[in-house]
Amino acid sequence: MKVSWDSLNEAVAQCQRCELCRQIHHKVPGQGNAKARLMLIGEGPGYEEDKSGLAFVGPAGQLLTKMLASIQLTREEVYICNVVKCRPPANRVPTPDEMAACMGYLRMQFALVRPQVILLLGATAGRAVLGESFRVTRDRGRFVIKNGVWMMPTYHPSALLRDETGQKKREAWQDLLAVKAKLAEVPAGESRRVSYGVCDQ
């Protein structure tokens, strides 16, 4: 199937595949470098994202910007999006049906960006891409390769904001260092497989 950024943006703008779109201010498709080597996937827009139409611009997004800076990356260098493109009411976790309704857009984003490395932020992104049995505390910190794309699951920045002991922050730092090392190890120009299948469950 042929995909373009225009067809993706149009499809998201018109989407009424689940009930989430009825209560929002803006769809939040995602943003960043269309040819990024690193793609980040979160759960779904929160209050600030719904207001602005941009992914990760609230408190979790500000922490994410600092996390990227700690491995010498700017937001302009990466592509950032979420599993669901509409804010769930009161920031609840999206249901399996809502996630399934939105997965086609994430697949289009994989196919367009063709990242070499993906950072999965939190349990919802992990489940959506790696499968229902994913558990963030058990499975984070280990790369999984899927259809030629390296995937690192880690904590969601919101969980890091709530982390009182600092343990999760220390673990997330190790995960970021592993991502930095992987980006250095995989040659930038290495041919990237088209990865529609990257998140096939």
Name the site residues for ligand URA (rule: CB under 6 A). 42-46, 49, 55-56, 58, 60-61, 82, 158
CB of 118 to ligand URA, least distance (A): 14
Side-chain-facing half-sphere of 195: CA atoms under 13 Å: 24
Closest by CA to 151, choosing from 133, 131, 170, 168, is: 131
Rounded to whole angstroms, how far apart are CA atoms 159 and 107? 26
- Encoded tokens for 21: 């779109």
Nearer residue to ligand URA within complex by CB, 32 or 46: 46
Query: Which CB atom, from 56 or from 155, has the smaller least distance to ligand URA?
Result: 56
Shortest distance, CB of residue 194 to ligand URA, whole angstroms?
Answer: 26
Q: Which is nearer to ligand URA, 82 or 116 (CB)?
A: 82
Least distance CB 45 / ligand URA (angstroms): 5
Q: Could you tell me the CA-to-CA distances from 94 to 35, 67, 112, 149 in Å, in that order?
A: 28, 25, 24, 25
- Shortest reach from residue 1's CB to ligand URA, in Å: 27
- Closest residue to ligand URA, judged by C-beta, is 42
Nearer to ligand URA, 30 or 115 (CB): 30
Which 3 state secondary structure label does DSSP give 13? Answer: helix
What is the chain's Cα-based Rg? 16
